[in-house]
Structure 1
Amino acid sequence: MRFKIYLKPLRDRQKLLFNYQYPLQAWIYGLLARADADYATFLHQRGYELAATRKTFKHFTFSSLVIPRTEPIRKGDTYMTLRSDMLSLVISFYVDKAAEGFIIGLFQEQQLSIYNREYRADFVVERVETLPVVALDATMTFRTLSPMVVAKKTDSLDQYLAPTNAEFGRFFAVNLVDKFRSIQPSMHMDATVAERLVKFELLSDPERIKKRGILTKEGKERLQTKVVGYQDFTFSLTAPPELIEVGYWGGFGRYSAMGCGCVEVCERPFANSSF
């Protein structure tokens, strides 16, 4: 299930951090806890585990904030000054239990604060819309609504891959299959099977794809990790529909629960377009 949340700023010219994903994630966890405390604790502390590995998945994601207007951003700024009357974002869940427990009334008139030691922005939820269910086929075209993070391990360190990288499709496929197996543990698929089942094709002009660094655990300096994602691109995906559903509803790539890998369906493919 997907929701579109409209956020009204409480004051004009509020300063919003560029790195707002972590506070948004914490806010969603808080709302989930009101609907189902046990489930929210499960997501936060553990998640859905992939057998025989240390990988866990939350199976929800959210888009970047849609911000119609800001003041000009200067080089070196770590925030944007808001001039919009309304912001919005999409929140998406794959797991049915989350959709059932996530009552729209919990959002209404709730407040959200995004801040660090220097800057603060406060919002109230103006309204919530339930978005229609989308039929997903074996071949779909998607456009990113937030940065997508795909990485491979090199000497125990993550090497973040751009969608133009020749290895992007392979690691994209393995991650998607791993997410599916965390829900369907009886399915046995290795990396070779994943590459055969999942075919990623970039459709956008590579020059228009944007790179974005994201800090996990904003405000907790000793625990922070910088991850790198890529946004503003469209792609074609061919895979069994049940795998595509996992990515569409729960996020493609890594760090989905921190607002990465959220996409929307394109009505039809447009090659070499940045959208």
Structure 2
Amino acid sequence: MRAQIKFEVRSKALLPYNYQHALTALIYRGLGVESAKLATFLHDIGFRREKKTFKFFTFSPLSFANYKTTKEGIIVFPGTASFTVSSPLPEFTDYLASGLWAKRSFKIFALPVIISEIIPLPLRRFTEEEIFTLKSPLVLAVKSQEKTTPIYLTYLEDKALYREKLLNNLKNKYLVYYGREPRIDYFDFAFDEKHFQNKLPTRLITYKDQKIRGLCAPFKIKANPELISLGYYAGFGEKNSMGFGFVE
């Protein structure tokens, strides 16, 4: 399920570029109003398989009607703003919408916003081949033996490894969500490499104290439609609850 959250911005404010963790916090606050149990479970525990944990939600970047970018951040002027929240959990967007409506007024860093509208978006049906555009970076990483920080994959260096890591991520999500192994008759994934010609479409985002690098470009995926649907609603790749891997 997806829902578009619309705000009214009543006063001018400076928003840092790395605002993602504030949106994650807003989502948890909204959930907590209607279902403290679900909010606490997702925040503290999540759905687990071995050492992997999934929260099964993601969200888009903010969109502003009236803004200006500067070296210091985004200057947001009075007007409207919105973002979209996505989750395969059937109760997630209902609880979130009810909780946000109950409070209505929030702050995203120094930016005061008032909920003006919450629009449930229609469910999508998927075929065995889909083309998506990433609205937030797709993150895949491998552990480093020399460093404590992970190595973020960049696709062109090893396309086979990138596909393998993405497929394993989707398989693990599917197994945790449905409680059974997915049917994998075929799988293929490719970025539109026209977007790689001048420079890599990478983005570096600081989430609290983590520096996370991902890729943001259109891609084509061929897979079991159930796998594609789970990626669409839960997010593709890693760190989805931090706002990564959101596609349209």
TM (norm. structure 1) is: 0.80
- Alpha-carbon shift at residue 41 of structure 1 (Å): 1.0
Structural mapping, 1:25-40, within 5 Å? 25-40=24-39
Contact 1:67/1:84, CA 8 A, preserved across alignment:
no
- Tell me what 2:139 maps to: 149
Structural mapping, 1:61-80, within 5 Å? 61-74=58-71, 77=72, 79-80=73-74
- Tell me what 2:113 maps to: 123
- Tell me what 1:41 maps to: 40
- Tell me what 1:253 maps to: 237
Contact 1:49/1:56, CA 8 A, preserved across alignment:
yes
- Alpha-carbon shift at residue 148 of structure 1 (Å): 1.5
Task: Note closer, same or farther for the CA distance 1:137–1:22 as it changes in structure 2 (3 Å cut).
Answer: same
Q: Deviations over 1:8-31 (max 9, x none)?
A: 21202x100111110110110111
Structural mapping, 1:174-253, within 5 Å? 174-187=168-181, 197-203=186-192, 204-206=194-196, 207=198, 210-216=201-207, 218=208, 224-231=209-216, 233-253=217-237
- Alpha-carbon shift at residue 152 of structure 1 (Å): 1.6
- Tell me what 1:54 maps to: 51
Question: Counterpart amino acid of 1:138?
Answer: E
2-structure distance, mates of 1:169, 1:197: 12
Q: Deviations over 1:130-168 (max 9, x none)?
A: 111111111111111212211122216411122434232
Q: Secondary structure at the match of 2:131?
A: strand
Question: Which stretches of structure 1, 4 residues or more, deviate above 6 A after TM superposition?
Answer: none
- Tell me what 2:15 maps to: 16
TM (norm. structure 2) is: 0.88
2-structure distance, mates of 1:124, 1:164: 43
- Alpha-carbon shift at residue 123 of structure 1 (Å): 1.1
User: How large is the RMSD of aligned CA atoms in angstroms?
Assistant: 2.1
2-structure distance, mates of 1:123, 1:241: 37
2-structure distance, mates of 1:46, 1:234: 32
- Alpha-carbon shift at residue 40 of structure 1 (Å): 1.2
1-structure distance, mates of 2:125, 2:4: 18
Q: Secondary structure at the match of 1:133?
A: coil
Q: Deviations over 1:182-225 (max 9, x none)?
A: 11333289xxx6xx743111125213653222223x3xxxxx22
Structure 1 residue runs of 5 or longer lacking an equivalent are 219-223, 265-275
2-structure distance, mates of 1:180, 1:197: 16
Q: Of 253, 263, 271, which residue of structure 1 is paired with 2:247?
A: 263
2-structure distance, mates of 1:68, 1:188: 41
Q: Percent identity?
A: 27
Is 1:158 the counterpart of 2:150? The answer is yes
Q: Secondary structure at the match of 2:164?
A: helix
1-structure distance, mates of 2:80, 2:22: 19
- Alpha-carbon shift at residue 35 of structure 1 (Å): 1.9
1-structure distance, mates of 2:4, 2:171: 27
Structure 2 residue runs of 5 or longer lacking an equivalent are none
